[in-house]
Amino acid sequence: MNNNVRYLISNSIDVTDRVLARKHIEEQSILIQKQKEQLERNLKEQEEFFLNMSHELKTPLNVILCTLQLLELYSNLDLTGENKNKNFRYRQVMKQNCYRLLRLINNFIDMSKIDAGYLKLNLQNLNIVSIVENISLSVADYIESKNISLVFDTDFEEKIIACDADKIERIILNLLSNAIKFTNPGGEIMVTITKHQDNICISVKDNGIGIPKDKIDAIFQRFNQVDKSLNRNHEGSGIGLAIVKSLVEMHNGIIEVKSTLGLGSTFTVSLPYRLVSNENDVPIEFTSSDDLERIHMEFSDI
């Protein structure tokens, strides 16, 4: 021991608060940076949304306007033979484009209702097999007119589950409309229903263009389209599948997709077996009243 050292003066400061404060500032600035990035992403999405919506609203309106001008030209002519056919075709074009506008606006309203929690299911115990079969077969002629064959396949005639028939029809029509849109003439669409232990699976399979691997996760997100260019081959707003996903989830179900580029896609909706006990416990056969209108609307993009 060194006897010369008689005192040790220690001057220490507790810097814990300072370290904590610096850490807090660092964390805050990371958070602010993240919020800023999120805000920029939201703004970009909003810009893309308005661009998309404007394009989607403008295209059918332009078609209606041009067709109206043609109709005006023909209105002074004798409406027989070829002129009569043209007159009929022009009115069909206007009608289809009105349906497109209506579909877009309806989808838009429903999306907002889903967000706000206003869209409710009208659950009833119904035969899901006949709902899917009827709506599929009601569009068979249309699909065949596009030179695409439709196959409906199931091993059983009846399975009663709690579902909202309107919404199920909408889901199936939307998946069918996409399958038609992205399948070339000569192709095939197959609707299959299978029973599993806890759920029933409805799949819509096509042998169309397929979806690239890196795009597949995004297709259920709003306004997501594999081809986003404004001069793309297929019309659509990119909100159909987002609404379908929400409607399936409202039924406590899930929707999945498997796809191979160039070979086709399969969308599978799985719905759980469950029943509701709100109406005399008697299963009802669902008959839709306005199928035709609904089909015109859902298929107006094709």
Interaction site with ligand ADP (CB under 6 A): 178-179, 182, 206, 208-209, 211, 219, 224-226, 236-242, 265
**What DSSP line would sit under 95-157, residue for residue?**
HHHHHHHHHHHHHHHHHHHHHHT------EEEEHHHHHHHHHHHTHHHHHHTT-EEEEEES-S
Whose Cβ is closer to ligand ADP: residue 126's or residue 148's? Answer: 148
Whose Cβ is closer to ligand ADP: residue 115's or residue 279's? Answer: 115
CB of 297 to ligand ADP, least distance (A): 13
Whose Cβ is closer to ligand ADP: residue 125's or residue 210's? Answer: 210
Whose Cβ is closer to ligand ADP: residue 162's or residue 255's? Answer: 255
CB of 183 to ligand ADP, least distance (A): 7
Helix, strand, coil % over all residues of the chain, rounded to 5:
50, 15, 35
CB 284, CB 125: distance < 8 Å: yes
Phi and psi at residue 21, to the nearest 5°:
-65, -40
Six-digit token string for 167: 């919404």
Whose Cβ is closer to ligand ADP: residue 126's or residue 247's? Answer: 247
Whose Cβ is closer to ligand ADP: residue 179's or residue 200's? Answer: 179
Whose Cβ is closer to ligand ADP: residue 236's or residue 253's? Answer: 236
Closest Cα to residue 138, out of 302, 14, 288? 288
CB of 204 to ligand ADP, least distance (A): 8
CB of 141 to ligand ADP, least distance (A): 20
How many of the other CB atoms lie within 10 Å of CB of 139? 20
CB of 89 to ligand ADP, least distance (A): 25
CB of 175 to ligand ADP, least distance (A): 7
Bridging pattern class, strands 199-206 and 264-272: antiparallel
Q: What's the burial of 245, exposed, middle or buried (CB within 10 Å: 0-12/13-18/19+)?
A: buried
Decide: helix, strand or coil at residue 161: strand
CA angle 77, 83, 85 (to 5 degrees): 150
Cβ-proximal residue to ligand ADP, closest one: 236
CB 232, CB 292: distance < 8 Å: no
